[in-house]
Amino acid sequence: MSVSVGQYTAIDDTADASWFIRFSDSVNAIPEYRGVRATLIEQLGSLEGKHVLDVGCGPGDDTRELARLAGPSGRVVGVDLSESMLAEARRRGGPVEFRRDDVYALSFPDATFDRVRAKLVRQHLLDIDRADDELVRVLRPGGRLAVFDLDLETLALDHPDRTATRAFQQYWADHHKQGWCGRQMRRRFAARGMTDVTTTPYTVHMPYEFFRQATRGALADPEAATVLGMTPEEWWRPLAEAEEAGLFFASLTGWVLGATR
């Protein structure tokens, strides 16, 4: 059984943790993510000398960037549930404390951090309310939160079968634990008393191979053929031809949320 994005919450229990590291690296290599990272940093406000938490840090490249900006007087902590991710983050180095922690029950007292960041984590979480409570709890009053998550039902895919494409868009979004978390961010954090809440949209292109990897879990589900009204092979054929011709197109929209506690 091949691994897929649906298992991001249990990477260490899968047959191939390295797939998730490669997948995260391929996300971050998509050019639009440069803008996402820059806006997250902008929304956090000044970082120099600050105590910063990166939740669900993955391989930690973004966390290292935060540490560079926090400077020698700052302190940056990257937490993740996966030991495999943390091992890779530590191997890549940097002045960051990488430690195992669970966003559902962070092991820090209330109001520990000046800045809290979470990128591409919440869309994978079953109990998003509990996670959001924790992100706010560990932030000090007046501190800044920055979050980025996609909204899976914003998929724009140029496939010749419109009916199948529309069905796939909803099916794929619902295959995620929080397929709508992008559009719900503003409401969720406002409900937790956060102020100055802003959302900045980013539409990111999905290269063909990336799209294949991102959707393979949903398409491996036997229900997929019924939803699409065709076999996965029939679904892929025109997309592969489009890629051959240099015409494959798929994109997703997400939002960077910035807010003050």
Ligand X SMILES: C[S@@+](CC[C@H](N)C(=O)[O-])C[C@H]1O[C@@H](n2cnc3c(N)ncnc32)[C@H](O)[C@@H]1O
**Which parts of this chain interact with ligand X (CB under 6 A)?**
8-9, 11, 24, 28, 56-58, 62, 80-82, 85, 102-104, 119-121, 124
Q: Are 119 and 148 in contact (CB under 8 A)?
A: yes
Query: Which residue, judged by CB position, is nearest to ligand X in the bound state?
Result: 58
Q: How far is the CB of 121 from ligand X (least distance, A)?
A: 4
| CA 62/CA 138 separation, integer angstroms | 20
CA gap 251, 158 in Å, rounded: 9
Give the residue with the Cβ less far from ligand X, 155 or 228.
155
CB of 99 to ligand X, least distance (A): 11
| Closest CB 125 distance from ligand X, rounded Å | 6
Positive or negative, the CA dihedral 117, 199, 68, 24 is positive
Rounded least distance, CB 10 to ligand X, Å: 8
Q: Which is nearer to ligand X, 100 or 237 (CB)?
A: 100
Nearer to ligand X, 128 or 239 (CB): 128
Burial classification of residue 105, based on how many CB atoms lie within 10 Å of its CB (0-12 exposed, 13-18 middle, 19 or more buried):
exposed
**What CA–CA distance (Å, rounded) separates 143 from 139?**
6
Residue 218 beta carbon to ligand X: minimum distance, rounded to whole angstroms: 16
Sequence-separated (6 or more) residues with CB below 8 Å from residue 131: 103, 104, 121, 122, 125
Closest separation between CB of residue 179 and ligand X, Å?
14
The nearer residue to ligand X, 75 or 92, going by C-beta atoms, is 92
Cα dihedral across residues 147, 148, 152, 154: positive or negative: positive
**Residue (181 or 228) nearer to ligand X, CB:** 181
Which distant-in-sequence residues (6+ apart) come within 8 Å of 117 by Cβ? 40, 44, 52, 53, 54, 55, 62, 66, 145, 146, 147
